[in-house]
Chains A and B, each alone.
Chain A
Amino acid sequence: MTAPAETAQDRPSTDRIEKRVALRASRSRVWRAIANAEEFGAWFRMNLDGAFAEGAAIRGRLTHPGNEHVMLEMLIERIKPEWYFSYRWHPYALDSKVDYSSEPTTLVEFTLEETDGGTNLTIVESGFDQLPLSRRVEAFRMNDRGWDGEIKNIVQYVS
């Protein structure tokens, strides 16, 4: 058994989620799983309709049973081979009747680092502060301090 993905945040952030995971696989293996659209789709559970290239807009259909109707669009930003891959998307674009194109996107970034035993992968999704709803949702996220501390934070945050 290996340790689960670690939430790498020293303090609660309203804008980003960061995960660090140590993988027992070579950097080139991990890179292929992320930067190759077919392999990405295999573990992410999404059928993608094209290859990843900077500037490309790739549509994907979720393959998880019960969610096959859900289409997501990935706007590929940067591809730095074996090191960095980023794209933007709409984090809650699940209603096929709604046009999300004018709404803010979040940025998802994968960064690879070679280690002795394999590869350290960091996944960051950021830009939640630009989503007016989730800005306030996140402010109410629970943490160790519980609600009293959390509400004080919110009051400071908004005042």
Chain B
Amino acid sequence: MVTNKRRPKPTAVEVDVTIPDKVVTPTEFAAHLAIMEEMLHDVARSLNAEADSIRVQIRDLWPGSAHARLRVVAGPRGEGQAAPKTIVQAAKRHLRDIGQGKARELHVSTRILQLAKRAASSAKPAVYGFSDGSVRLDKEFRHEAVRALSPTEHRHGSLEGRLRDLSAQGGYRPLRSGLRAGLVTRHREITVPCSVAREVAARVRNAFDRRVRLYGVVAWRGEDPVGIKVDDLKVFEPNASLPNWRDLIGIAKEWGPPLNFEDE
């Protein structure tokens, strides 16, 4: 018997992004929409193992205002993953916790905090609306985000990633205090602010957009690096420039026993 059952409609949840100001530039508005999308994807990633478990679409735009409604639906790999509703609720909870100064307990990820801080850094405060309340991203919110981002410990170490966001001044001449850069870490792609000592500023400038390992004092917030004071660096050659590992097989055949060989 052929049944004419329709497939259940995928659940969708809506989120509002508003900048309640008379004059809003397209850049300001677009930045908030992008931050909201990025934030939802990050929360989804923290709840789900699969990337792309949700999709964020524009549902409505209101003329004469900076007000958009976004629709969050399950993505192509969303099956068996946390529902969009759970993800949106988690995002709202994170934002609310940041605003209420409860985000220091490390349950809000560093990525979310960085995005929230960026969203609240705009001159015109935005309001992110959810089905059961809204969160205003203003100066106080930013203050709380900055507080929550403060490191819990410092220790000597190194970070690997790609160098981005070199300070404009650094591009032309090193400042007396060195220069600033951003390192996008290899894992989780957290942007870590780097304060570069003057001695290595030139080398850091030349390593822009390359894979590097930075050495120095790393500030940690729980398990996430939130800053590094760089005193040395190693710039990696791209894989294509390195010898193929197949060509290295057996090169040490005639060299005798290596260190600790007798232990095996």
The answer to whether A and B belong to the same complex is: no
Where the two chains meet, the residues of B that have a C-beta atom closer than 8 Å to any C-beta of A are: none
Where the two chains meet, the residues of A that have a C-beta atom closer than 8 Å to any C-beta of B are: none
